[in-house]
């Protein structure tokens, strides 16, 4: 079925309903899901592997099992095969050469660009911001660049709601405790009555809201805005190339 244009067309409808929320219209990727037009995929190479991934999801990621994401209605086996046909029809056969230099990007990440002061990749770096080992495999180049240039425009993408287990968006939090101590940091987890947060020294606080003197949240990211005068387009492309090379592993 993989090369059947009719199946691919039917798959396009199914894709819009079931997949596009995260993977974007045209399978070009979105904030939540990888660009599926890449010929090299991280979790599935053969059609059979892709069928498995769509049917059962990928544990530990936002990719849910078929029919469990609350978006769309779930698919029959036939419909899953149609989606695979559609994805195959959209694949760009020759992978695009990364624009940047990944080796230099790694140096920048751990050096002058200061990324690793807040982010961790492959076990190295710090913890204030999202861990980025997988980000190059699961986000588009454009989404990564936008996150660096405009960190507050869209905070870290939480999981889709129905599969929400840990909707960590790294919102900025400022609290004043009962004894007058001010703590600033990022929210790790929160419900109506409690908040877990990390301050800039990576100290974790587990707090009950009714015991705080004040509690304020902001969607102004703790991450500084990296304009082109702080981080040139070329340096940013190199960092993106580094993240994509790690994410593809």
Candidate ranges 11-19, 84-92, 119-127, 130-138; the one touching other proteins (CB under 8 A): 11-19
* Long-range pairs, 138-144, Cβ under 8 A, ≥24: 138/32, 138/33, 138/34, 138/42, 138/61, 138/247, 139/29, 139/31, 139/34, 140/24, 140/28, 140/29, 140/30, 140/34, 140/35, 141/99, 141/240, 141/244, 143/29, 143/30, 143/31, 144/240, 144/243
Q: If residue 246 lies in a helix (H) or strand (E), which one and from where to where? A: helix 233-247
Q: Least CB distance from residue 22 to other proteins, whole Å?
A: 9
Q: Residues 16, 104, 127, 174: which binds other proteins (CB under 8 A)?
A: 16
The reply to whether 191 sits near other proteins by the rule CB under 8 A is: yes
Nearer to other proteins, 61 or 167 (CB): 167
Could you say which of 112, 122, 126, 161 contacts other proteins (CB under 8 A)?
161
* Nearer of residues 30 and 136 to other proteins, judged by Cβ: 30
CB nearer to other proteins: give 37 or 69: 69
Buried residues in 40-55 as b, exposed as e (16+ CB within 10 A): ebbebeeeeebbebbe
Site string for other proteins, 33-72 (x = CB under 8 A): ----------------------------------xx-x-x
Neighbour count for residue 87 (Cβ, 10 Å): 24
Contact 86, 31 (CB under 8 A): no
Regarding 238 and contact with other proteins (CB under 8 A), the answer is no
Looking at residue 94, what DSSP letter applies? S
Out of 42, 104, 154, 174, name the contact with other proteins by CB under 8 A.
154
Tell me if 1 contacts other proteins by CB under 8 A. Answer: no
**Is residue 208 involved in binding other proteins (CB under 8 A)?**
no
Pick from 3, 40, 192, 201 the residue near other proteins by CB under 8 A: 192
- The torsion region of residue 72 among left (phi > 0), alpha (psi -120 to 50) and beta comes to left
Under the binding rule (CB under 8 A), the answer on residue 13 touching other proteins is: yes
Kindly list the distances between the CA atom of residue 194 and the CA atoms of 96, 138, 161, 197, 219, in Å, as whole numbers in the listed order. Answer: 46, 31, 20, 10, 18
CB distance 133 to 249 below 8 Å: no
Nearest distance in Å: CB 168, other proteins: 12
CA dihedral 163, 137, 27, 95 (to 10 degrees): -170
Interface region with other proteins, contact rule CB under 8 A, candidates 41-49, 83-91, 186-194, 238-246 = 186-194
Alpha carbon 138 to chain centroid, angstroms = 6
Interface with other proteins, residue 14, by CB under 8 A:
yes
Report 68-107 residues binding other proteins (CB under 8 A). 68, 70, 72-76, 79
Q: List residues near other proteins by CB under 8 A.
A: 10, 13-14, 16-18, 20-21, 25, 30, 67-68, 70, 72-76, 79, 152-155, 161-162, 164, 167, 169, 190-193, 219
């Amino acid at each position: 079925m993989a090369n059947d244009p009719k199946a691919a067309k039917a798959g396009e409808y199914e894709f819009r309903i079931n997949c596009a929320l995260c993977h974007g219209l045209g399978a070009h990727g979105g904030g939540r899901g990888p660009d599926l037009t890449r010929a090299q995929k991280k979790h599935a190479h053969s059609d059979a592997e892709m069928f498995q991934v769509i049917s059962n999801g990928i544990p530990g990621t936002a990719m849910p099992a078929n029919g469990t994401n609350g978006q769309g209605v779930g698919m029959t086996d036939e419909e899953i095969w149609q989606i695979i046909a559609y994805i195959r029809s959209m694949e760009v056969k020759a992978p695009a050469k990364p624009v940047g230099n990944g080796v230099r990007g790694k140096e920048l990440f751990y050096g002058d660009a200061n990324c690793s002061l807040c982010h961790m990749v492959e076990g190295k770096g710090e913890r204030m911001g999202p861990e980025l080992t997988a980000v190059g495999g699961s986000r588009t180049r454009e989404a990564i660049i936008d996150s660096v240039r405009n960190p507050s425009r869209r905070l870290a993408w939480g999981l889709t709601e129905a599969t929400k287990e840990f909707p960590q968006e790294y919102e900025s939090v400022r609290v004043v405790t009962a004894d007058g101590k001010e703590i600033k940091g990022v929210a790790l987890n929160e419900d109506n009555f409690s908040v877990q947060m990390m301050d800039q020294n990576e100290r974790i606080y587990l707090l009950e809201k009714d015991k705080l003197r004040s509690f304020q949240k902001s969607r102004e990211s703790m991450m500084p805005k990296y304009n082109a005068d702080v981080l040139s387009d070329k340096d940013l492309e190199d960092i993106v190339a580094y993240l994509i090379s790690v994410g593809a592993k």
